[in-house]
Amino acid sequence: MRHLIMLLLVLASVDASAQEVICHRGYWDREGSAQNSIRSLVKADSIGAWGSEFDVWMTADGVLVVNHDETFEGITIETAKWKQLKNMRLKNGEPLPKLEQMLECGKGLKTRLIVEMKPHTNRSQERKAAEKIVKMVKKLGLEDRVEYITFSYQGMKDLKKYAPEGTPVYYLNGELSPSQLAELGMAGIDYNIGVMREHPEWIDEAHSLGMKVNVWTVNSDRDMDWCINYGVDFITTNAPEKLQLKLAP
Ligand code: MG
């Protein structure tokens, strides 16, 4: 019995060491950086973050743009033409990045690229966005470096359909159990910390189905400690270096 307990303790510590840090909208909380900027991706890579997340919209004329909000400087991206946006600048002075530029930059880095497709109001445009995102990732030879996440139920199914077999796709919206997502072939859950605190049992459920658990946006010590103790696989945060210190052996 004692040996069994020791073995379980060792296994638990091995499991904990596999927990990974994902920078939320890149590592932006630093001088010269900005959310969803090229700089934030480079910065995430420079600290050895396992992954760096960013958000993607498609303009009405089919250009994939990296931005969190549905609008940029008052212009709604999904109904705009790219020419309305192409001269826009981020807070750190960088041009508003296209997905292609973000991926080009990612090619030279090691960090995994966590691509969030935003839910578009226009369903057929969202389907085209999913198809285009996957095509662009393929064109740039990044299929093994990318994971997809989305709040859109249909969008998640589109990404799963278009991406090569085995590409991880995670759902963000929080209302489906791991079992329900397993039936759709998803890689796991990627849910808000508040949702996970209400459903801690989903962590074991996901793991028993061979799925992974990602939690966002985990910034406080209390939330980080909760995720670490519960064996969350991927922790998405605005404070990656603080989290790295906690996870360091
Ligand atoms: Mg996001």
Q: Tell me the CA–centroid distance for residue 56 and ligand 1, in Å.
A: 8
* Confidence band, pLDDT 50/70/90 cuts, at residue 13: very low
How many whole angstroms separate alpha carbon 40 and alpha carbon 11? Answer: 35
How many whole angstroms separate alpha carbon 114 and alpha carbon 53? Answer: 4
Output the CA torsion sign for 71, 104, 91, 113: positive
Q: Tell me the CA–centroid distance for residue 68 and ligand 1, in Å.
A: 6
User: What is the percent of the chain with per-residue pLDDT over 90, rounded to a whole number?
Assistant: 92
121-148 burial: b if 16+ Cβ within 10 Å, else e: eeeebbbebbbbbbebbeebebeebbbb
**Structure letter (DSSP) for residue 23:** E
Q: Is the model's pLDDT at 5 over the cut of 80?
A: no
Mean pLDDT score, 138-151: 98
Q: Tell me the CA–centroid distance for residue 162 and ligand 1, in Å.
A: 20
Q: Is the model's pLDDT at 10 over the cut of 60?
A: no
Global pTM value: 0.93
Q: What is the pLDDT of residue 18?
A: 84
Q: Which domains does the chain have, with CATH numbers?
A: 18-247 (3.20.20.190)
Higher pLDDT pick, 126 / 5: 126
Q: Is the model's pLDDT at 14 over the cut of 60?
A: no
How many whole angstroms separate alpha carbon 19 and alpha carbon 148? Answer: 19
* Confidence band, pLDDT 50/70/90 cuts, at residue 4: low
Q: What is the pLDDT of residues 37-77, one digit of tens each?
A: 999 999 999 999 999 999 999 999 999 999 999 999 999 99
Q: Which amino acid type is present at position 237?
A: T
Q: What is the pLDDT of residues 213-248, one digit of tens each?
A: 999 999 999 999 999 999 999 999 999 999 999 999
128 Cβ contact partners less than 8 Å away, ≥ 6 residues apart: 58, 62
Q: What is the pLDDT of residue 60?
A: 98
Q: What is the pLDDT of residue 16?
A: 45
How many whole angstroms separate alpha carbon 149 and alpha carbon 163? Answer: 12
Q: Tell me the CA–centroid distance for residue 48 and ligand 1, in Å.
A: 20
Mean pLDDT score, 104-126: 98
Q: Tell me the CA–centroid distance for residue 3 and ligand 1, in Å.
A: 44
Cα→Cα distances 115→68, 123, 169, Å = 11, 19, 10
Q: What is the pLDDT of residue 17?
A: 47
Q: Tell me the CA–centroid distance for residue 69 and ligand 1, in Å.
A: 9
Instruction: Evaluate whether 28 touches 34 at the Cβ level (below 8 Å).
Output: yes
Q: Tell me the CA–centroid distance for residue 53 and ligand 1, in Å.
A: 6
Q: Tell me the CA–centroid distance for residue 232 and ligand 1, in Å.
A: 18
Q: Which residue has the tokens 């307990």?
A: 5
Mean pLDDT score, 7-36: 79
Q: Tell me the CA–centroid distance for residue 165 and ligand 1, in Å.
A: 23
Residue 58 β-bridge partners = 64
SS3 of residue 56 by DSSP: strand
SS3 of residue 116 by DSSP: strand
Q: Which structure tokens are listed for 112? A: 């995994």
Q: Tell me the CA–centroid distance for residue 221 and ligand 1, in Å.
A: 21
Q: Tell me the CA–centroid distance for residue 117 and ligand 1, in Å.
A: 8
User: What is the percent of the chain with per-residue pLDDT over 70, rounded to a whole number?
Assistant: 93
Mean pLDDT value across the chain: 95
